[in-house]
Amino acid sequence: RAPVATVVIQPDKTSPVINRDIFGQFAEHLGEGIYGGVWVGKESKIPNVRGIRSDVVAALRAIKVPVVRWPGGCFADEYNWRNGIGPATKRVETVNGNWGNVIEPNSFGTHEFMDLLDQIGSEAYINVNLGTGTPREAADWLEYMTTDQPSALGKERAANGRKAPYRIKYLGIGNESWACGGNMSADHYVEELKQYSTFVRNLNPAQDPPHRYVRGPKQMQRIAVGPEDDKPEYTEAVMKAWQSTRPWRWGFEGLSLHHYTMGATPMSSPATGFDAQDYAVFVQQTFGMDTLIAQHAAIMDKYDPEKKVAMVVDEWGTWLGPMADTNPRFLKQQNSLRDAILASLNLNIFARHADRVRMANIAQMVNVLQAMILTDKEKMLLTPTYHIFKMYLPFQDAQLTPLTLETGTYRSGKIGVPQVDGVAAQKDGVVWLALTNIDPDQSVSVRTSIKGKAVRQAVGHVLTADKIDSINTFDRPAAVAPQPFSAKAEGDTLSLTLPARSVTVVRLDP
């Protein structure tokens, strides 16, 4: 008999909205993340619009990417925005010292990034350079992008082809300042943060506060560097400083958290061909994201009990061993059904913390780490992780709905993790349920009910495959792809049979 789990959904209990920005992406100048993956140049034979490849744009449009973080990552703290503007023939070549010491052609700069956002229908999360840059440079970049005035920088933008100011929803102030962003102590970073948040202004009249002293959700949200994994120093120091400031002096609206899932051998765990024990380690570590968020949220609560400051998990995902025959500094890795399952667990965790976690950006969008898309010259494929983002579309801006889940335990060696994980949400009166069967070997039958109502049927999609390490390849691009799923109630009981190693997202019809 298949193991059994029960799910009870309580749609009448109030709970926060799952911010669509938790489905955000991260695109860094790293390996083929931009060059080859997004940008092929206007002269390329690969179909493109103004140099941006059309197959990738179509795929990203389909998952309604809400926000893209750019240009890094570590790259951001060495980026000079001036290298990335002006006529293509005049762009200087620099060296990308973080990621393989390869040439950075700077052909993809501010205007090209904003064009990408226009093409995919997404918002900008610009990370300014606090490591090797200055507040002056960052302020100039913001003025260049956002002023509607005929200042020298405003005129320069217009001369480069863009008259109207750009909209910037989020501004990252430094990146991992505790490591590649400058190896700064938390106290030192706080002093830098004060300078940047004082001087770096968004001048777009549609975003500039009507009154200087008032900031609201429509204004650009500034994201401060927060913790590395479970280390509390940055969270403590940055939030303490936030509490003691007067918002009209300096401030920020979000605190970043970075955490990668790396398995037993960080940065070299196999992407395929792993065993059950290795899989269990990854699942257990993924549940660690919940502990991590709770730990830092508790520190934030001390200084900000009203939860004004968002927690922003702007780098997350698996960090595995590199693909054969690739530059190891390009961080190009395979993406299997395991990655899809882990992505669903992470998204469920972010959703459950919707009161504090209001943006997350998976690392990274194309060809880097846990990517949505892999390309090889003119070829492109959608990874299993991509399909999770597509299946979870109904959860964007839906209201989290309390769910009680009783499930067994999946065991491998000394590790035991819940067999099933799930999250529910409602939008426009419709209840959606996402259920992950973590067990790689056994299907699970889930009795599902909505408090006070009988559920008649469930309709949606399921993602599974022959093996937990099944992947999509250019020869078999749909080996791991969602299939239609439906179940009808018998009497007043709706049972969903979740295949082994699967993610199911359904609409529940009462």
Q: Judged by CB under 6 A, which stretch of 68-76, 246-254, 292-300, 456-464 contacts ligand AHR?
A: 68-76
Nearer to ligand AHR, 29 or 390 (CB): 29
Q: Judged by CB under 6 A, which stretch of 123-131, 174-182, 273-281, 409-417 contacts ligand AHR?
A: 174-182
What x-and-dash track marks residues 266-295 binding ligand AHR by CB under 6 A? ------------------------------
Q: What is the chain's Cα-based Rg?
A: 23
Report residue 395: phi and psi, to 5°. -85, -10
Length of the chain: 510
Nearer to ligand AHR, 180 or 415 (CB): 180
Minimum CB distance to ligand AHR, residue 16 (Å)? 28
Nearer to ligand AHR, 228 or 509 (CB): 228
How many residues in the shown chain lie near ligand AHR by CB under 6 A?
11
The correct pick among 19, 23, 24, 28 for binding ligand AHR (CB under 6 A) is: 28
Q: Which residues are catalytic?
A: 176, 315
Q: Which residue is nearest to ligand AHR (CB)?
A: 73
Minimum CB distance to ligand AHR, residue 98 (Å)? 7
Minimum CB distance to ligand AHR, residue 237 (Å)? 19
Based on the shown chain and the rule CB under 6 A, indicate whether residue 176 belongs to the binding site for ligand AHR.
yes
The correct pick among 5, 63, 74, 343 for binding ligand AHR (CB under 6 A) is: 74
Nearer to ligand AHR, 135 or 172 (CB): 172
- For 291, residues 6+ apart whose C-beta sits below 8 A from its C-beta are none
Minimum CB distance to ligand AHR, residue 287 (Å)? 21
3-state secondary structure of 318: strand
Minimum CB distance to ligand AHR, residue 449 (Å)? 41
Q: How many CB atoms lie within 10 A of CB 267?
A: 14
User: Which amino acid does the sequence have at 497?
Assistant: T
- For 44, residues 6+ apart whose C-beta sits below 8 A from its C-beta are 51, 53
The correct pick among 19, 106, 147, 175 for binding ligand AHR (CB under 6 A) is: 175
Q: What are the C-alpha distances in Å from 129 to residues 78, 196, 208, 244, 432?
A: 6, 10, 22, 25, 40
Q: Max CA-CA distance within the chain?
A: 73
Minimum CB distance to ligand AHR, residue 223 (Å)? 13
Helix (H) or strand (E) holding 326: none
In this structure, the dihedral spanned by the alpha carbons of residues 424, 305, 245 and 175, taken in order and rounded to 10 degrees, is -40
DSSP 419-480: SEEEEEEEETTEEEEEEEE--SS--EEEEEEETTB---EEEEEEE--SSTT-B--SSSTTSS
Nearer to ligand AHR, 28 or 439 (CB): 28
Report residue 412: phi and psi, to 5°. -140, 120
Site for ligand AHR in 369-428 (CB under 6 A): 369
Pairing of β 444-450 and β 4-9: parallel
Minimum CB distance to ligand AHR, residue 278 (Å)? 22
Nearer to ligand AHR, 147 or 367 (CB): 367
Nearer to ligand AHR, 225 or 300 (CB): 225
Q: Judged by CB under 6 A, which stretch of 44-52, 83-91, 363-371, 452-460 contacts ligand AHR?
A: 363-371
Nearer to ligand AHR, 108 or 395 (CB): 108
The correct pick among 73, 182, 251, 322 for binding ligand AHR (CB under 6 A) is: 73
Minimum CB distance to ligand AHR, residue 99 (Å)? 8
Q: How many Cα atoms sit within 13 Å of 386 on the Cβ side?
A: 26
Q: For residue 266, what are its two tokens?
A: 């960080």
Report residue 460: phi and psi, to 5°. 180, -135
- The residues facing 436 across adjacent strands are 421, 503
What x-and-dash track marks residues 198-217 binding ligand AHR by CB under 6 A? --------------------
Judged by phi (left if over 0) then psi (alpha if -120 to 50, else beta), residue 325 lies in: left
Distance CA 183, CA 196 (A): 18
Based on the shown chain and the rule CB under 6 A, indicate whether residue 78 belongs to the binding site for ligand AHR.
no
Based on the shown chain and the rule CB under 6 A, indicate whether residue 72 belongs to the binding site for ligand AHR.
yes
Interacting residues toward ligand AHR by CB under 6 A: 28, 72-74, 175-176, 180, 315, 363-364, 369
